Each structure stands twice: as C-alpha cells, then as structure tokens.
Structure 1
C-alpha cells in the first residue's frame, strides 16, 4: 500500500496545480492512496485571508472540502483520495481550530508548528544577531510547541518536526537533546505519528525532515511514522518515497502508517 499524505494546491497561494493534478500525479507514481492536505486558513485572525501567499481564505474551506469529497467519489476504484489538512498550531487558538475541524469529515489533520515567538521558522533573519543562549532558547521553544501540539489531541500527524533547519542549516548544530527527547517522549505517549517529509530537498538544508538522528530517537520512544512529500508541484508527489522506506527499515522501523476516517492504518515497510 503506497501513500503520500502531504500535498498542497493553488488555494494556499504558494503551490501550483489543482487537486486533480495531484491525484493524477499520484496515479502516475503508482500510489494506492493520496492525501490532499492544503494549508488551513488562519482561523485566529479576524481577516478573511490574513496571508494570501501562505494559506487559503476562510470562505474557501468549504469549497476545498467539497472538491476533495467529489474527487474522492470520482476516483473510487482507481486511487483512495483522502481528505486532510495541514494546520498551524497556535496554542491560544487551539480550541477554535478543534471546533472548526469537527464540522468536516477529515481523514486526518497534520499539525505543523510554523511560527516560534511570532516569527516564521523559515525566516532566516530571525537568527541574525542571536547569541548561543538565544538560539538555544528559540530551538527549545520550537520543541516545546511541538510537544504541546501532540498533547492537544487535534492532530493525527505532526508535520516536519525539524523544519526550522530548512533555511538555516546550523539549526541542527544547536545542541538540545533533552528538549528533543522530551518532545518525542510526549509524542510517543500521546500517539500521533510524525511524518518523514521530503520537502527539505527544496530548502537550504537539503535532505528530508526529520534527521536520521531524530528518527532513531523516535523509534526509541515508540513514535509512529508516516510519509508526506509536502508537494507544492504535482511532479513532487511521492518524491523519494522508496528511499525513505529503505532508510526507515535500516533504522529499525517495521511499518509506517496513514489515517483514514482518523483511524490509523499500518503498512509494512
């Protein structure tokens, strides 16, 4: 059973292609399951579309859901199309997000921490002028938020849990083993999977998220793993999936998971 659970499309404002384009790309790549998971609106903002180049407008959510469900029926028997969402995690708005999602038949929600101290994790400028203690504090806060997102119970999958290295590769050299282990311990206890996300190859860091070192620690803490290309172009659907599967087996994982109707489905590696 071959799957990719993390894909975007034109509604988020920074991806190319329609939902149909990603489904067709998944079929061409030999997938059995394709998850559509565009970026959630900013529900905590009073604006209709607070960040047009990052996330869909609030009014688009219902159209997004309707389109995915329609295509799900159309492609039945050819590929299993799942309704997902990549959601920001803002602790102060967690209940609003939870309530909003409960109104729709999502198969899964990916919870991603994209902002730390109100600055994007991908903003290279956030690191300028910080001393070592301040850099460690930012990394520690990142993993504290990831742990809190796991505790929230809102998400089936946690997205790209070391993506803060994306445009700042030295992030990986900031030693925070206790903070990372604590986040992985909480994730293991609370149950969401973490994704292996291959979009790191489109950033300065290269490779994928998270690092092998984190995956080895995740196995130790009993964390489940999933897969998402985080495709913003149809051509990236299933990108490096086979290489990821091979590496997970080398590390010691025996299976990975996807979610349908919010229920975990195990797939042997």
Structure 2
C-alpha cells in the first residue's frame, strides 16, 4: 500500500498546481492514500500575509480546509484524501498555533523547523565566515528546536529533520552527534514519526532528508517512519517511494506509518 503525506499547492506561493492536480497525480502513481499538507499561515505575525512566497494567507486557510474536505468526499473509493498541514514550529507562538489548528479536523500535522535564530535554514549565507564552534552551536540550536517540537504534543510527524543541509551539504559533517541522538531519543519517547522526505534532491545536498546514517540511528532508537515527497509540483508526488521502501528494509524497518484522524496506522514494508 502506497501513501504520500507531504504535498503542497499554489496557495503557499512557491508551488504549482491545484489540490486536485496532486490528487490526480497520486492516483496515477498508484497511491492508496494522499495527504495534502500545505504551509500554515504565519499565525503569530500581525500581518494578514507577511510572506506571500512562503506560506498561505490567513484569509485562505479556511478555504483550504474546506476544499480538501470536499475533495476527500469526491474521491472516496478511488483514493483516501487526508487533511494535513505543515506547520512551522515557533516556540513563542506554539499556543496560538495549537488554538487555531485545534479548530479543524486535521488527520495529521507536520511540524517543521525552517528557521534558526530568525534566519532560514536554507539561507546559504548563514554559514559564511563561521568557525567550527559557531557551526556546532547553530546545528545544536536547530536540533534543540526539533526536540522542543516533538515535546509540544502538537505534531504527529516531524518534517525533514536534517533539511539544514539542503543548501549547505557540509552541515552533515558538523560534529554534533550527541545532539542528533538526543533528538531521536526524544522523538521516540514522544511517539512522533519522522518522514523520509525525498525533496532533498531539489537542493544542493541532493538525496533525501534525513540521511541514511540518521535513519539507521532512528531505527536503533525505535522512531516511527513515514513518507513524504514534499512535492511542490504534481509530477513529484510519490517520488522515489519504492527506493525509500527498499532502503528502509535494508536498515531493518518492517513497517512505516501514516495518520488518519490523528491515529497511527502501520503499513508493512
């Protein structure tokens, strides 16, 4: 049984296609389940739409939910359409996000860290001129945020947990093994899943998020795994699903999971 829980569409301002386009792409790819999980608005920001090319406007949020629910009914029997959302993790605004998101019938919420010390994790310039001590500090701060997001209780899935390597491949070589292991211990204890996200191929790092080495450590700590293409164009739906399944089997996983009505559903590999 094939599923993909991480897809976007035009409302976020940096993806192409409609929700229907992604559902149809999922059917063409042989999916039984597709999750729609566009970026939340910036609920903690005073403006209506402060970052038009990063996330949807607040005024578009209810319409997004309504459209997914309508398409869920329309496609019933052909593909199971799940209502998801990808939410930034901002510690100062977590309760506001919790309050807003609790008002809607999400099947799952993906929690993702996209900025550290108010700088995008994908910003290539953030690493310029930093010595090793500062690089270690930034990597440790990134994983501290991921740890806190796991503890928050808001999320069923954590998104792309080493995506800071996306435009800085040397990130993986920064010595902070203890921070990564502690993060995986906390995630396992919180019973939150991490995704294998195949969108890393669209960045300088190439490959998947997280690395095979982190997946092996995740297996050791008993972390649940799910799949997300993080598709921003319909043709990437389910991208490399079979390859990911094979790799997880090699590592020793015998199942992965998805969420419906925020309930964990295990699928044999």
TM-score, normalization by structure 2: 1.00
* 1:2-81 alignment runs, 5 A limit: 2-81=2-81
Aligned to 1:90: 90
Please list every run of at least 4 consecutive aligned residues from structure 1 whose deviation after the TM superposition is greater than 4 angstroms: none
Query: Structure 2 regions of 5+ residues with no counterpart?
Result: none
Match status 1:235 vs 2:223: no
Q: Deviations over 1:80-130 (max 9, x none)?
A: 000000000001100100111100000000000001010000000100111
Q: How much does 1:168 deviate?
A: 0.4
Aligned to 1:253: 253
Matched length: 269
Secondary structure in 2 matching 1:59: helix
TM-score, normalization by structure 1: 1.00
Distance, in Å, in 2 between the alignment partners of 1:152 and 1:161 is 16
Match status 1:143 vs 2:149: no
Q: How much does 1:57 deviate?
A: 0.3
Aligned to 1:209: 209
Distance, in Å, in 2 between the alignment partners of 1:15 and 1:33 is 21
Distance, in Å, in 2 between the alignment partners of 1:182 and 1:122 is 23
Q: Deviations over 1:185-234 (max 9, x none)?
A: 00000011000000000000000000010011111111000000000000
RMSD (Å) for aligned C-alpha atoms? 0.4
Aligned to 1:106: 106
Query: Structure 1 regions of 5+ residues with no counterpart?
Result: none
Match status 1:130 vs 2:130: yes
Secondary structure in 1 matching 2:248: helix
Distance, in Å, in 1 between the alignment partners of 2:100 and 2:192 is 20
